[in-house]
Amino acid sequence: MNIAFFASSLVSAYWNGAATYYRGIVRALHERGHRVTFYEPDAFERQRHRDMPDPSWARVVVYSAQSEAEVLRTVEQARGNDLVIKASGVGVHDELLERAVLQLQGNGCLVAFWDVDAPATLDRVHGNQQDAFRPLIPRYDLVLTYGGGEPVRGAYLALGARDCVPIYNALDPGTHFPVPPQPRFACDLGFLGNRLPDREARVEEFFLRAAAALPERRFMLGGSGWGDKDMPANVNYLGHVYTADHNAFNCTPLAVLNVSRESMARYGFSPATRVFEAAGAAACLITDAWEGLETFFEPGAEMLVARDGAEVAGHVRALDLQRAHAIGRAAYRRVLAEHTYAHRAAQFDAVLQGCAPQPVEAAA
């Protein structure tokens, strides 16, 4: 199948939290025989901050987003594909793209919307009856989401979606795996995440409050946007951590932390990419509590769960290397058995089988 993908970026993770997800999905689709062209705008300085060259498993088209006419010309290049996907959060001309890709529908071409931030999209649409995306939802052949489970699926179906299927985050074992620890990332608890409005208060609670409660322990924060944030003295702020360093960042600390964005935690069933990256590195992960976690990992055995910063501090205080390694190894076994992008791509193919246009039978 020839697939055209309009999304934020495949080749740069700079201010682009979905990069790992796109890479894992697209690479796994290629390995199943699909041919993917990934269209991404030249925006937000992402091309200046590339962390990978154009891959062999996808054709990358970087287009100018300076005018609507240029964007429409790029969309027209995708005509003739079997499947055209518009992802949420491209960042520039999203409304235009959401309308324009639907003009490619028909003549054997399916058009899907892939929502990588369904809670934000649904909150926006429910809060504004005039939202431009709202009347387009029933026109897409399929809505795919990065997470959300039945709450998100039910919400999209209520808005008229023909079908809605979560394709969860996962692990690409070719990019995220155990590596030797690196002294520069040595600490008791590490957290990696960009500063975002609906994450900041939860980072204050689960990470910074825990650090303040354990002044004798070392904490490490990676991600963009935190430079002017007041932090306890025992927090070392690294700034943006490039993808190539994520394995070492996960493998070196005693434990690493996952903090869901507020909207993701509220909808539940939305494991962040970092959860699977950490498991793939056999790291001991402490995560904030969210509904559906036990669907993916066994709390207490494959990762530790905390309801607030005090519980995060309690986990760090009680951990030793032996227990941390046992939890990390258990998570590693589980993620390889059930949660790789190969598993997700197989699910994707099964979903498409139900959506594919049926051949017209010759008249008797």
Contact yes or no for 275/169 (Cβ under 8 A): yes
The secondary structure of residue 7, as a DSSP letter, is -
* Confidence at residue 359, expressed as pLDDT on a 0 to 100 scale: 42
Residues of each domain in the chain carrying CATH 3.40.50.2000: 2-170+342-355, 183-339
Give the pTM. 0.89
* Confidence at residue 17, expressed as pLDDT on a 0 to 100 scale: 85
Q: How far apart are CA 132 and CA 121, in angstroms?
A: 11
Q: 141-156 burial by CB neighbour count: b if 16+ within 10 A, else e?
A: bbbbbbbbbebbbebb
Percent of the chain with pLDDT over 70: 98
Q: How far apart are CA 158 and CA 173, in angstroms?
A: 37
Q: What are phi and psi of 196, to 5 degrees?
A: -130, 150
Tell me the per-residue pLDDT of 170-203, one tens digit each, with 9 for 90 and over. 999 999 999 999 999 999 999 999 998 889 999 9
Task: Per-residue pLDDT tens, the chain, 364 aa: give them.
Answer: 999 999 999 999 988 989 999 999 999 999 999 999 999 999 999 999 999 999 999 999 999 999 999 999 999 999 999 999 999 999 999 999 999 999 999 999 999 999 999 989 999 999 999 999 999 999 999 999 998 889 999 999 999 999 999 999 999 999 999 999 999 999 999 999 999 888 999 999 999 999 999 999 999 999 999 999 999 999 999 999 998 999 999 999 999 999 998 888 888 898 988 999 999 999 999 999 999 999 999 999 999 999 999 999 999 999 999 999 999 999 999 999 999 999 999 999 999 988 765 443 333 2
Q: How far apart are CA 353 and CA 247, in angstroms?
A: 35
Tell me the per-residue pLDDT of 246-278, one tens digit each, with 9 for 90 and over. 999 999 999 999 999 888 888 889 898 899 999
**Fold classified for 2-170+342-355:** Rossmann fold (3.40.50)
The secondary structure of residue 47, as a DSSP letter, is G
Q: What angle do CA 179, 182, 186 make, to 5 degrees?
A: 120
Mean pLDDT of the chain: 94
* Confidence at residue 63, expressed as pLDDT on a 0 to 100 scale: 97
CATH number for the domain running over 183-339: 3.40.50.2000
Helices (H), 229-272: 246-251, 262-267
* Confidence at residue 265, expressed as pLDDT on a 0 to 100 scale: 85
Q: How far apart are CA 173 and CA 341, in angstroms?
A: 9
Q: How far apart are CA 171 and CA 193, in angstroms?
A: 17
